[in-house]
Amino acid sequence: RINALSFYEMTFKALPYLEASKGHIFTTSSMGGEIPASFSSIYSSSKHAVNGFFYSLQQELLARQSPVGITVGALGLIVTDDMDAILGDEKSLFPSFAQGDVHVCATGMMDSLIIRPRTFSYPFIANKLQRFM
């Protein structure tokens, strides 16, 4: 419930203010919402719901020429200090192109507020490869 319904409620409550200010929504989601994975059906389905909501809302806002922009952040493995501590030696199981740097990710997220892409995928190469598989 929280993984999807909270997004809906917050968005609908904020939308009038965002329209008045020509604002932008950057929603942090997951590649799990773009591409299903084994042994993650509950997680993936909740992320699919979030992504579906925001992608549909993007289309609705475009159709009524709303000034509000939406970017869905489809994030993969971002190596934060906490994630590094959790993974430890197992981090080597993930190829380097599949591991995203937290600072590069944050910069990309901030750039999205200016550029306003519909989707921000990071780590870029890993996410593109997953989409083609």
List, by residue number, the catalytic residues: 43
Helix axis angle, 41-63 to 2-21, nearest 10°: 20
Tokens of residue 14, six digits: 């904020």
Among 77, 58, 55, CA closest to 68 = 58
Among 74, 71, 72, CA closest to 44 = 74
- CA 94 to chain CA centroid, nearest Å: 20
